[in-house]
Chains A and B, each alone.
Chain A
Amino acid sequence: MVTPDASGPAVARQSDEQVEESLYAKQEKIYPREVHGLFARLRVLGVLGLLGIYYITPWLRWDGHQALLLDLPARKFHIFSLTLWPQDFIYLAFLLIIAGLTLFFVTALAGRIWCGYACPQTVWTEAFMWIERKVEGDRMRQKKLDAMPMNVRKFRIKATKHLLWIAFAGWTGFTFVGYFTPIIDLGQRLTAFNLGPWETFWVIFYGFATYGNAGFMREQVCKYMCPYARFQSAMFDKDTLIISYIDERGEPRGSRKRSADPAALGLGDCIDCTMCVQVCPTGIDIRNGLQYECIACSACIDACDDVMEKMGYEKGLIKYTTEQAMHGGKTHIVRPRIVIYALILLTIMSVFTYTFSQRTSLGLDVIRDRNRLFRETDEGLIENVYILKILNMDDRGHAYRLSVEGLHELELYTDTNRIWVGAGEVLELPVRLRVEEDDLQERSNKVIFSLVATDDPELKTREEARFLGPR
């Protein structure tokens, strides 16, 4: 019999040695029991929604091209009407930082709801377990099947499961590659058995990772491999939403007849049916308190509520709560931690939005001719030669006007009168600058090239360069 712990369930009762042992013990396969209820429905909704987004997105079209194509071979990211170039990598870094901070913020507020509902590991494991249940049957049947020696029937069932898993994983890998190379073309080449070696490699690699992670590794990924699972507790405080068993109400636990009066037997509300343990995908007992293995999937809440209903007891013996609330306090949603996380997040988001709005879809690189520093022309002028790389990152072509400033009576010569760059193209333009030697103040002088689109004065950029002379 376990007595209620005064320090509350937030402190796991296992001693250090036990934890150590469970960490390094040989893994036993976990057969989670299927669970029905409010949170299970929410998760199925989440799983279907997220898988839907993943598998459908690469097939969406926008303006005649794939709506979301991170075209690595062409070094261009198409996101609807937006085209991002390698020099826009900073925005991707920004987005990753924002995503990370959002995760911190959500964790402080609502605990590990990411793990329970949205993490790809959870989502694909859920899908793989669904296939497993359809093929092998429920928990007891799975256990029995695994325990029996290999025979024709077992082989047939196992082979079916693995074939379905492999097909699903293969499709997942194909979709993954479809984000990086045009998926319709990829599909056509796949059906013609004409995939390139690298594409084949990545389809198999990603498919294999899916098959391994969702089919076999499952909760071990969360326990041993996930960095977030290791440090998420740093974001927790007394007001963070957690899933907890209410010790005071449940203990002392014990089985009893449905008609029995628990008070007369000296029992709490927990009937020790172990349903909460059986449904747990990570194989823990939530009644031992908050544990880092818990991915907050709330399967135990659904299972326990179901039992409580059958027993005619009040629901919520295991529920979403906070440490504060469990100790009779009031949960504070607005608190310093939340405010600080929110402020940091808002600042980064504002900086991102501002810099992104300032992003111009025109790039200019000035490269000096490497062969000679300068040349003196027949007229006695000093000449420098440059190659301008004009990068039109817009989705339509433009004509540009080029000018230069920085030196007195600086003359600009190009081979062409009209500078035209098509959508998403790079123009290499040789340019010569000439100036009177007397106008040079130093050996190395600053000049500034300005480029502006003739049809859109807002579309402009400037780039500094050096003009070298004999002085």
Chain B
Amino acid sequence: MAEKQIPKMQKCIAVLWPSFLTAIVATGVFFSAFDPDDLFPFGANLEISRLGVYTIGFLLFWLVSTISGIGTLYFAITNCMRTNPDSREQ
């Protein structure tokens, strides 16, 4: 499973999709424990509705888990290339 054998699209999905699912769970747990109105006492000035805070929270969670997913993919691929040098030429 060297890098070149996996299409770019599939790599994108392999990172974005699980992190999307993780972000949904994280958003659900986080915002059921914390009310945005209590979290950001100064946020009222920004006039972002709760729905907006949820959305931003969700996107941030998605971003964070995407970064972690990219890391996993990167280490998996580079490790595979190191232990199996032939695969680089394919």
Contacts and interface: CB of A to CB of B under 8 A. Distances in A.
Contacts of A72: 50-51, 54
A75 B51 contact: no
| Interface SS majority for chain B | helix
B7 interface: yes
B74 to A, nearest CB: 19
Interface in A282-314: none
Interface string B13-36: 110010001000000110111010
Contacts, number: 43
Interface residues of A, number: 20
A266 interface: no
Interface residues of B, number: 20
Interface in A191-235: 196-199, 201-202, 224-225, 227
A73 interface: yes
B85 interface: no
A89 interface: yes
A26 B7 contact: yes
A181 B55 CA distance: 14
Nearest to A199: B51
Contacts of B49: 73, 196, 198
Interface in A385-406: none
Contact of B51 (A24, A73, A86, A227): A73
Contact of A24 (B10, B13, B32, B55): B10
A180 B35 CA distance: 16
Contacts of B83: none
B17 A225 contact: yes
A72 B52 CA distance: 11
Interface string B40-70: 0000000001111011000000000000000
B10 A198 contact: no
A201 B50 contact: no
B39 interface: no
Nearest to B6: A24
B52 A86 contact: no
- What are the 6 A-B residue pairs with the smallest beta carbon separation, nearest first? A89-B32, A198-B51, A86-B32, A198-B52, A73-B50, A198-B55
30 contacts: A24-B5, A24-B7, A72-B50, A72-B51, A72-B54, A73-B51, A75-B35, A75-B50, A86-B31, A86-B32, A86-B33, A86-B35, A89-B28, A89-B32, A92-B28, A92-B32, A180-B51, A181-B51, A196-B49, A196-B51, A197-B52, A198-B52, A198-B55, A199-B51, A201-B55, A202-B55, A224-B13, A224-B14, A225-B13, A225-B17
Interface of B: 5-7, 10, 13-14, 17, 21, 28-29, 31-33, 35, 49-52, 54-55
